[in-house]
A and B are shown apart, each in its own frame.
Chain A
Amino acid sequence: MTFSDGTAFDAEDVKHSFERSQSPEIACEVSRYFEGIAITPTVVDAQTIEFKTEPAQPILPLLMSLLTIVPSETPIEFTREPVGTGPYTLASWEPGQQIVLERRDDYWGDSPRVKTANYVFRTDPAVAAAMIQAGEADIAPTISATDATTDMDVAYPNSETTYLRIDTSIAPMDDKRVREALNLAIDREAFIGTILAEGTEVAVAINPPTTLGWNPDIAAFPYDPERATALLEEARADGVVVDTEILLVGRTGNFPGATETYEAIQSMLADAGFNVRLQMVEVAEHEQYYSKPYAEGRGPILVGAQHDNSRGDPVFSMYFKYDSEGRQSGVADPALDDLIARATGAVGEERAALWSEAFAYVHDELIADVLLFHMVGHARVGPRVDFTPSIATNSQLQLADIGFK
C-alpha cells in the first residue's frame, strides 16, 4: 500500500498521524475522540503498531477509524497538499470556486468508477437542484424538501435526530411528571408530511434505528394532552411551580421548517398548560444554551437541537448528551453514568444489550429529554450516475460508491 505521493505506508506513518492529531500546535478536531484516554503508540515493525490505552478502550478500532492518516514527512502545521492512501488525489483547488479530485492509477484496492470528481459550492439549494436539472452537475447531496419534486429526487434518512434537551436541574423540569407532560403534549405525527418531509420518523432514541443497541421495545410517547395537563396538575398539587416561564430555544435554519416546527411545539405545549416562550437564535448563541458551562442563575430552558451520529455505535452520543460530564448533557444521574461506563467498556452482544438498557432508561425511567424525529434529507441525482443516497450521505459522500448508468 502506498500514499498518493508514491511513498510507502507503514506503522511509522500511523504513529506520526496520531501524534500530529494530538499536537497542541494545531487544533485538530479528531483529538476530541481521544480525550481523557492515555494512548501510547509503539511501532513493533513496519506492518504492526501497538496502542496501549489507559483506561481500556474496547472501541479503540472505531476511534482509530476517525484518524486521518498522513505520511510521516507531513509537517505538523496545516498542509494544502493532502496526501493519503485513498483512491483519489487532489488535482486542483481554486478557492471559492472548485475542488477537483483525480483517480489514482496506483491505488492498492479496487479502482472506483469515477475518474474525476469536480466539487462546486452553492449556498442556495434551489440552485444546486437546478444545476442537476440543467445537466451541469450530477449529484446535489442536500436540496430542500420543497424542491424535491422531480423523479431525480430521493429522500434518505440523514441520521439527524431532532430533540428538545431538558435541563433537569432547574425547576419545574426537575420533576419527572413535568418532563413526561412535555413529552405527552406534543403531537409528533402531526408534523410528518406537513411541516416536515414525508419519511420523517418519530424518534424514541437519540440515535437512528441502524445504531447498535437501538431498542425496538421502547414505545414512543402518545399524543395525550389531557394526561399531560393532569400530570401538570398533579405536580402543582405537590407544590411544583408549573407556571414558571420555560424558554424554548430553537436554531434558525437548523433544518427546513425549523421555525415553524418550534412555533407549533410552543403552541402545543401552551395548550397543555405550559408557559413557554420561544426564542429562535443563530448558531453561536444557540451553542451558548446548548453546551456547558451553562449560565449561572438561568431559568428553565428547553433547547431544540439536532444530533447526528451515523457511526453505528452510540458511545459518543451517550457520553456527550447524557453523561454527567457530557458537554450537552441535561442530566446528572449516577446510575446512567455507570451504565454508560459499563457499555463503553463492553464488546459484542453485551455491549448491544447495555446500550439497549441505556436507551430504555433514558426514555422511560429518566425521561431525560423530549425526543422528536429522525429526519430525512433529499438529494437530487442526475440521470447519468448510478448512486443511491444513504444514511451516511449527510456527512460524507463516498466517491467509490458512485457508478455510471
Chain B
Amino acid sequence: MLSKRAVSSFVSLLVLIVLVFFLSRLTGDPASLYLPVDASEAMRENFREINGLNDPVLVQFGNYLSDLVRLDFGDSLRKARPAMDVVLEAFVWTLWLAAITMVLVVVAAIVVGSIAAFNVGKPFDRIASVFSLIGASAPDFWIAIVGIVLFSVTLGWLPTSGTGTVWHWVLPIAVLFIRPFGLILQIVRGSMINALGSAYVKTARAKGVKSSPIIFVHTLRNAMLPVITVIGDQAAALLNGAVVVESIFGFPGVGKLMIDSILQRDFNVILAAIMVTAIAIFLMNILIDVAYALLDPCIRT
C-alpha cells in the first residue's frame, strides 16, 4: 500500500513541479523586480543572461530537471544562496511551530471536547462551544495584534515578536492554536456524542459499567477516526506555513518565505519550498494512515 501511495505521490509532485515551473514564469520577468526601477534595458538583459532567464522556457525547464536529478535545486535570485538551503532553514522554524501547536491542540481539543460531550447542554459544554466557535472564526491577524498590545506592550509579560528565547514562542503558538483548537474541539464533541449514543455504549451501560473512564476509552477510540482526518487537514495547513503569524511575529518560517519569493519572482525558492512542503505533507499523510490502521482494525490489511 505504501509503495503504491509513494508512486502516486511522486507523480503528483512531478505534475506540481511542472505546473509551478511554468505558471510562476508566467507572472513576469524577475529582472524588473530585482533591479531598480531606473535600471536600463542593458542591465536587465545582463541580469537575465547571468541567471539563464534568456533561454526558451522549455530549455530552462530541461536545465532545471537535469539539475534536479543531481539534487541541485538552483540558487535563490534574491539571496544568492542555494534555494534548498534557504527553504530548509525556514522550514525547520515552521516544522517546530506546527508540531508544538498541533500537539497542544490535539491534547486540549480531545480533553475539552470529550468533557463537553459527557456534559451535553451543561454550562461547561455551552462555554466550550461558544469559545471554540469564536476561536474558529476570529481573524488571526487581529488576535495577533491584540495579543501583542495586551501581553507585550501593556502587561510586559512577553516579547512582542522575533526569536531567541522560549518566551518568543508563546504568542505565535497561542495565536496558531486558537483556530484548529476550535475546529477540532467541535469535531471531537460531535463525534463523541455520536459514539456515546451508539449501541455498544448502551449495552455496556446496561451491563452495569458505571465507570466513566472505561466508557471514555472505548468511545474515544471509535470517535477518533473523523477527528484524525481533520487533524491531518489542519496540520497540513500549518506545514504550508502560517503566513500571517510568521509575518506579524517576524518568524522566519516557510510560509512567509513562499509569499515573499512569489512576490519577488524567486522561482527556484518557490519550487524548492513547494517540494519540501509537499514531501512533508506526504509523510504526514502516511502517519495519518498509520494512525487510522492502529485505531481501526478494519483498515489493516
Contacts and interface: CB of A to CB of B under 8 A. Distances in A.
Given A97-B162, A120-B250, A134 B152 contact: yes
Interface in A92-143: 95-98, 120-124, 126-127, 130-131, 133-134, 136
A227 interface: no
A284 interface: yes
Contact of B159 (A26, A31, A136, A287): A136
Contacts of A78: 80
Nearest to A290: B37
A284 B264 CA distance: 9
A284 B37 CA distance: 10
**Which of B28, B93, B160, B248 has the most chain A CB within a 10 Å cutoff?**
B160
Interface in A180-230: none
Interface in B184-223: none
A101 B292 CA distance: 52
B250 A122 contact: yes
A135 to B, nearest CB: 8
Nearest to B48: A27
**Which of B35, B163, B250, B265 has the most chain A CB within a 10 Å cutoff?**
B250
Interface stretch (B5-13, B39-47, B225-233, B280-288): B39-47
Contacts of B28: 284-285, 288
A290 B37 CA distance: 9
A124 B248 contact: yes
A32 B41 CA distance: 10
B36 A29 contact: yes
Nearest to A325: B40
Nearest to A98: B162
Contacts of A130: 148-149, 152-153, 160-161
A35 interface: yes
Interface string A229-244: 0000000000000000
Contact of B156 (A123, A134, A287, A291): A134
Contact of B36 (A32, A134, A283): A32
B38 A127 contact: no
Nearest to B158: A134
Given A123-B248, A123-B250, A287 B33 contact: yes
Given A121-B250, A130-B152, A29 B39 contact: yes
Interface size bucket, B side?
35 or more
A96 B89 CA distance: 9
B38 A32 contact: yes
A124 B43 CA distance: 32
A282 B32 CA distance: 13
Interface in B50-76: 50
Contacts of A127: 145, 148, 160-161, 248-250
A124 B141 CA distance: 10
B152 A95 contact: no
B145 A133 contact: no
Interface string A5-30: 00000000000000000001111010
Contacts of A327: 37-38, 40
A85 B247 CA distance: 35
Q: Which 6 pairs across A and B sit closest by C-beta, in order of nearness?
A: A96-B252, A27-B47, A123-B247, A78-B80, A320-B38, A122-B250
Interface of A: 24-27, 29, 31-32, 35, 78, 95-98, 120-124, 126-127, 130-131, 133-134, 136, 282-285, 287-288, 290-291, 316, 320, 327-328
Given A284-B32, A285-B28, 18 more contacts: A24-B46, A32-B35, A32-B36, A95-B86, A96-B93, A96-B252, A96-B257, A97-B250, A123-B247, A127-B249, A130-B152, A136-B162, A282-B263, A283-B33, A283-B263, A284-B27, A320-B38, A327-B40
18 contacts: A29-B43, A32-B36, A32-B38, A95-B89, A95-B252, A97-B162, A121-B250, A124-B145, A127-B145, A127-B250, A134-B156, A282-B263, A283-B33, A283-B263, A284-B28, A284-B33, A287-B32, A291-B32
